[in-house]
Structure 1
Amino acid sequence: MELKPTESELEILQVIWKLGRCTVRDVHEELSQNKDAGYTTTLKLMQIMADKGLVERDTTTKTHVYRALITREQAQTSALDKLMDTVFKGSTGSLVIQALGKHKASSDEIDAIKQYLKQFEN
């Protein structure tokens, strides 16, 4: 299955990954802290996400409970593949140079990147 969550769906997934199993109200309240989101919009998006296989809806109780069916890593891989193809025309080097040139990496992150690159050199 090819995963292609939209930006709004990714925002919802972030909440579900943080909270675990949750209701539409739980997600809506979390999203409302940072943006103006209507409850019915959140509900509709989560219903669409269930249809797409991004989340699972437990309907055994009156209040439906949702859980993510994809991991954060799967979503990151999907988003990165899309970005690589559309923006960087498949060039890993361009992506890395752009990311490191425009965004400050911590010394721990730089050390981790160096260790990762060493694996490819050997």
Structure 2
Amino acid sequence: MEELTAYEEQIMKIFWKLNRAIVRDVLHELPAPKPPYTTLASTVKVLEKKGYLGHKSYGKTNEYYTLVAESDYRKKSFNHLVKNFFGGSVENVLSFLVKEKKVSEKEIQEMQKLIDDYSKKQ
């Protein structure tokens, strides 16, 4: 699975929301200022080339559909982040979040409960 640019990811989020769409549908979902239709169409073609989208033709109109589930992309992206920025260590990720105060006390307790529940299943 190839990496996506921030813009490509934005477009994929719309496809994951809509599941199937023509370029004009995606254009309507984008916030202002909207890109030119041709720019968006080119990006959709790139996403298809990267294997994220497929299409079905109806005359001159292409309806695009997702080939990669959002959950699969999320897993891959998170694993990439953990590997490349935190040395592959989930402990380093959690430590970073706690130190940067990005995690509340309640969230820490919820994570501890998840860990405890997981440990009981093992």
TM-score (norm 1): 0.79
SS of 1:59's partner is strand
Pair member with larger Rg: 2
| Structure 1 residues 16 and 111: alpha-carbon distance in aligned structure 2, compared to 1, 3 A threshold | farther
Q: Relative contact order (C-alpha < 8 Å, sep 6+): which is higher?
A: 1
Counterpart residue number, 1:47? 45
Structure 2 stretches of 5 or more lacking a match?
A: none
Q: Distance in 2 between matches of 1:41 and 1:113?
A: 42
Aligned residues between the structures: 119
**SS, match of residue 58 in structure 2:** coil
Amino acid at match of 1:38: P
**Secondary structure of the structure 1 residue equivalent to 2:35:** coil
Contact 1:3–1:78 under 8 Å retained in 2: no
1:56-95 map, 5 Å? 56-95=54-93
Distance in 2, matches of 1:25 and 1:89, equals 42
C-alpha distance in structure 2 between counterparts of 1:105 and 1:57, whole Å:
43
User: Cα offset for 1:72?
Assistant: 1.0
Provide closer, same or farther for how the CA distance between residues 113 and 16 of structure 1 changes in structure 2, counting only shifts above 3 A: same
Partner of residue 14, structure 1: 13
Given the two structures, how large is their TM-score scaled by the length of structure 2? 0.79
CA distance in 1, matches of 2:94, 2:22: 38
